[in-house]
Amino acid sequence: MVFSAEEIADRVRAMGREITEAYGPADDLLVLGLLKGSFIFLADLVRQIQLPLHVDFLVAGSYGNGTQSSGNVRLLYDPEANLKGRAVIVVEDIIDSGTTLARVLPLLEARGARSLEVCALLHKRLVVMEKEARWVGFDAPPEFLVGYGLDYSESFRHLPYIGSL
């Protein structure tokens, strides 16, 4: 086990407090989850943010059935929410190669968000991102991780902890 369910819950609570302190009720907050991996983290996180907010999703993929990013990011679902003038937090399960965020963030920035921040549960620190995550749950080891939404070929997402494949 890399991170226990208890460690994850404690860190998500703290991240929710940090986000609550960073914004106010007038910020028109949109929490935009990158599916599929972020869905459990996003659900737990938004329940810890003590502000009015909206939730939408973006589906982008670069792994397929492998354990390494293909480098080819496919956008499968584009959010319907209007980003113009809003405070947007993109929620990612793990920053690994950085390919998905490098492709998605410029597309979202072009839609006129007032602010655009990244919140990631895990960061492997393998690359320097053009826009680094403002909130990171844990620095992750350089292993293929599963559980708490992270998968290997669609398996293991249901685990309440994060483990190494």
Handedness of CA 135, 78, 147, 43 (dihedral sign): positive
pLDDT in tens, 91-141: 999 998 888 898 889 988 989 999 999 999 999 988 888 889 999 999 999
CATH number of the domain enclosing 145: 3.40.50.2020
Dist CA 103 CA 106 (whole Å): 6
Active site residue 96: yes
Question: Running DSSP on this structure, what letter comes out for residue 78?
Answer: -
pTM: 0.89
Structural contact between residues 129 and 98, judged by C-beta atoms closer than 8 angstroms: yes
pLDDT computed for residue 135 by the predictor? 98
Domain extent, residue 52, equals 5-164
Backbone angles phi, psi at 16, to 5 degrees: -60, -40
7-16, 39-48, 78-87, 116-125: which has the minimum mean pLDDT? 78-87
68-72 contact pairs (CB < 8 A, 24+): 68/97, 69/96, 69/97, 69/99, 69/100, 71/97, 71/99
pLDDT computed for residue 24 by the predictor? 92
> Of the residues 78, 96, 139, 151, which is catalytic?
96
> Per the structure, how many domains does the chain have?
1
Dist CA 45 CA 108 (whole Å): 21
Q: Which residues contact 21 (CB under 8 A, 6 or more apart)?
A: none
Structural contact between residues 104 and 60, judged by C-beta atoms closer than 8 angstroms: yes
| Helices vs. strands in the chain: H and E counts, helices first | 3, 8
